[in-house]
Amino acid sequence: MLTKQVKTYPSRIEEVKNSGRYRMLLSEVDIQRRTKELAEKISEDYRGRCPVFIGVLNGSFIFIADLVRQLTIDCEVDFFKLSSYGDAMVSSGEVKLKKDIDCHLADKDVIVVEDIVDSGLSVKFLNEKIMDMKPSSLRFVSLLVKWDNAQPGRKIDYVGFSIPSEFVVGFGLDFEQKLRNLKNIYIMQEQD
Ligand code: PRP
């Protein structure tokens, strides 16, 4: 139980509500509608098969949960955990593998689920790593792709939204590890 002795801190959730620093880019309704469309297309493309969906933690945890629940086909689910940003707003340029998958991907249909493709370094890293495991097919789905920055090491097969090159938070995307639990996606403007 939280008591009066617990140290409090400025709430980022309150800041989103009360400061002009955040501008909504995509509402919960927009995201759910597009997620359903993507799930329908994937279900059609993989009819009669059972792809392995691999979420890329942490950012994709909400998107993959919503996406797989809208599928009308069987699937398996596993997770990689990568990190290239840490608490920074720009990529370190080095992708680190923090958690590996447990399943075998040889001869499986694999679909990697990203929340966002920015520099494309994470996608490039995963593409090379998974191809070494000899899957029978490999595709990528990303809720967001930045249209200016994205130089993916490969094509993104299913794109939710192409977005401007701004720092975005919410729906799994963080600022200093917080704000992942926002239902909408917001552009966070730099402070003067
Ligand atoms: C973010 C995001 C993607 C990756 C995309 O992860 O979730 O996985 O960056 O950026 P890129 O295209 O420039 O590689 P991050 O390293 O911030 O970790 P997180 O998912 O835990 O927030």
109 DSSP β-pair partners: 137
DSSP-derived pairing of the beta strands 96-99 and 76-83: antiparallel
Cβ of 149 below 6 Å from ligand 1: no
pLDDT at 149 over 80: no
Cβ of 142 below 6 Å from ligand 1: no
CA of 16 to the centre of ligand 1 (A): 21
CA of 58 to the centre of ligand 1 (A): 8
**Distance between CA atoms of 128 and 76, rounded to whole angstroms?**
21
Pocket test for ligand 1, best of 115, 119, 146 (most atoms within 8 A of CB): 115
* Residue 160: pLDDT band with limits 50, 70, 90: very high
Q: What is the pLDDT of residues 12-21, one digit of tens each?
A: 888 888 888 9
Rounded to the nearest 10 degrees, the angle between the axes of helix 28-45 and helix 61-69 is: 60
Residues classed as catalytic = 118
DSSP-derived pairing of the beta strands 185-188 and 22-26: antiparallel
Predicted model pTM: 0.92
Q: What is the pLDDT of residues 20-78, one digit of tens each?
A: 899 999 999 999 999 999 999 999 999 999 999 999 999 999 999 999 999 999 999 99
Cβ of 174 below 6 Å from ligand 1: yes
Peptide bond into 58 cis (omega under 30): yes
* Residue 192: pLDDT band with limits 50, 70, 90: low
Cβ of 126 below 6 Å from ligand 1: no
